[in-house]
Every structure is written in C-alpha cells, then in structure tokens.
A and B are shown apart, each in its own frame.
Chain A
Amino acid sequence: MVKQERQNTPYLLLLDAGDSLLGDRFLGQQTQGKGIVEAMNLLRYDAMALGGGDMRLGLDTLRQRMAEAKFPFLSANVVLSGTETLFAEPYVIQEAGDHRVAIIGLTEPGAADAVQGAITVLDPIETARRYVAELSPKAGIIIVLSHLGVEENIKLAGEVEGIDLIVSGAGQVLPGRAIQNEATKTLIIQAEVPSPGHAGRTVGVARLQIDSQGKITSHQWTAISLTPDFADDPEMRALLSTYQ
C-alpha cells in the first residue's frame, strides 16, 4: 500500500503517532518491538512519536529499538527524571520540494507510569509552544506528532499558534474526519483509536495543498482499512514470515 502511494506522489511523509512497538499483538510481544521496527524500516517511516505503551518496553530495550530504527523516535517533552536531558530527539526537519517540514514529537503525561517514574513528562502545551517558536524561522510547515489523544490535541490546536497539522494518536475518540481549529487553522487527523484485536489495520491518508508560504490552503483526508483487497507485499510478507 505504501509502495503504491510512493509511486504516485513525489512528496510523501510516513508518520506514526506512537504506541506501535508493543501491545496485544504477537509480533510486538514476541520480539519486544524489534520486528515492528524492522517492518517500519522496510516501509521507510519518516518519524514516530513515543507513546506510553512504547515505554513499557523499559528504557534500555527502547533505546535498543531506537538504535535499530532508520527513522527518529520523537518526543520533545520526555526527560530523564531529575535532569533536563531529553530521552529522544525532540524534532526532525524533512524537506518536501523547496519546503522544510518540522515534525515535533509529544508524549502523553501518563507515560511516566510505564517506567516507574524514570522519566518526567513535561507539559505538552508549553513544550509545543516553545518548539514552535524555535522552529518557525527554520521550517515553513510544522507538524506535531502527538500521542496525547484527540481531546488534548484539540486543546493544543487552540492554544498554540503556528502548528499546521497535528497527527494524533491515543485517546478514546475518533472523529472520523479531519478537524480544523477555526482560529489557528491547525488541522488534526487520527487514523484509529486503540482497540484490542483491531489495531494496526487502518492508515490515514491526508493530501495537503501547500502554498508558497508553507500554509495549507486545502486538504483531503480519509482513513483506509487494510482489507484483503490490498495484495501482500512480497518483502513485507517475507519479513513477517521470519517471525512466525
């Protein structure tokens, strides 16, 4: 599915909003997230936000997964407790044509519980405000990859100006459409909500018309269910078969 999209569009970002390494699914559990990172490497993900579920691997194992990944794990608001040291990269800047796209990662406050307080999760809204100010002169398009849930992301979109797009994860609400804040014009999209037994089967597809100033002038968004109508990719099938 991703390969098809790459063939059809010159400017594509593949992002994950968190909690994808570990859960109720066999591959993640059996390999402690390693098989998922390999699959994401094969798909050429551009970035992934850290979620509390990913933290359940433990910090040492998570560091191993981060080292194996060919894409950055992002979190601008997780620091090692008692320090100001960020656990992951706070953001990454990608290029799309002549445009520079900054992608900032945010993690939900409850993530600290997964590692018995070994990390401290800073206020996500204050953190976002700080990084948006820092990155606005460097990038025309700013995306926040957020594992805060839709409700918190709606709040974020209203309180912090300068965010073009929030790619959301977590929470219990799935709007089923793109939400746009009327004042800040920030767009919020989320592919699915956590759902035992059904996770990982939906991909969100946003097509954004970007003007010369880096602003989204129009958008289309849809969520695609990965049904058997999509033929297996031989490389992915081969990779997954090594873990069966």
Chain B
Amino acid sequence: MKREARNMVGFLMLIGLALVGCSGVTSTPTPSPTSTPTKAPTPVPRPSPIPTPQPIELTVLHTNDTWGYSEPCG
C-alpha cells in the first residue's frame, strides 16, 4: 500500500513538472532571434513641390465659319 502511494505521488510529481514546464514555454514568449541584418530606414518619398508656372506668351490662331473652305497656303 505504501509502495502504491509512493508510486502515485511520484506519478503526480512527474505530471506536475511536465505541466509547469509546458506552461512556462507558452506563458513567456521568447523573442525570436533576428536573423536578418538590420536595414537602414527607407526614406519616405516626399511629394515633389508643384512648380510655379512660368509666365508665357500664348499664341492663339483661330478661324470660324469657314463654310467648307481651306486655303492652299495652310
């Protein structure tokens, strides 16, 4: 009877150790080792500034009501 009790106690201790061991792994996550070298931060592209339009001379050539006629001088 004593032997059975000792065996039972030993069995329960083994289970307890196993449980403590497992719970320890899951409850304290270990940071995964960084295997890749640290990259330099990528610069964020900035929007290019909108250029201020330069003054221009705009030429407008215009016709109207030519009624189906075109001059050969173009």
B67, closest chain A residue (CB): A23
Number of interface residues of B (CB under 8 A): 24
Residue B62 is within 8 A (CB to CB) of chain A in the complex: yes
**Chain A positions 173 through 203: 1 when the CB is less than 8 Å from some CB of chain B, otherwise 0:** 0000000000000000111111110011111
Contact at A3–B74, with CB atoms within 8 Å? Answer: yes
- B-side interface residues toward A, CB under 8 Å? 51-74
Task: List the 10 closest pairs (A to B, CB-CB), nearest first.
Answer: A28-B68, A23-B67, A169-B64, A200-B69, A200-B66, A233-B74, A98-B53, A17-B64, A25-B69, A230-B73
Interface size class of A (residues with CB under 8 A): 35 or more
Given contacts A19-B65, A190-B64, A212-B53, contact A200 B71 (CB under 8 A): yes
Q: Given the complex, which residues of B lie within 8 Å of A127, measured CB to CB?
A: none
Min CB–CB distance B37 → chain A (angstroms): 44
Does A236 lie within 8 Å of B67, measured CB to CB?
Answer: no
Whether A199 lies near B62 (C-beta < 8 A) is no
Using Cβ atoms and an 8 Å threshold, which residues of chain A touch B63?
15-17, 20, 191-192, 200, 202-204
Q: How far is the CB of B58 from chain A (nearest CB, A)?
A: 5
Q: In the assembled complex, which residues on chain B have CB atoms less than 8 Å from the CB atom of A19?
A: 64-67
Q: Are A43 and B74 in contact (CB under 8 A)?
A: yes
A69 beta carbon closer than 8 Å to chain B: no
Which A residues, 65 to 82, have Cβ-Cβ distances below 8 Å to chain B? none
User: Which of B55, B66, B73 has the largest number of chain A CB atoms within 10 A?
Assistant: B66
Identity of the chain B residue whose Cβ is nearest the Cβ of A53 in the assembled complex: B67
Residues B67 and A199 in contact, CB atoms below 8 Å apart: yes
Task: Encode A205-243 as 1/0 by CB contact (under 8 A) with B.
Answer: 111111111100100000000100011110111001000
A9 to chain B, nearest CB (A): 4
- A178 CB to closest chain B CB, in angstroms? 11
17 A-B pairs, CB-CB below 8 angstroms? A15-B63, A18-B64, A19-B66, A19-B67, A192-B63, A199-B69, A200-B63, A200-B69, A200-B71, A202-B63, A204-B63, A205-B59, A206-B60, A208-B59, A217-B55, A226-B71, A233-B73
Identify which of residues 100-116 in chain A touch chain B, using a CB-to-CB cut-off of 8 Å.
101
CB nearest to A217 among chain B residues: B55
Interface centre among B56, B61, B69, B70 (most CB of A within 10 A): B61
Q: Is the CB of B57 within 8 A of A208?
A: yes
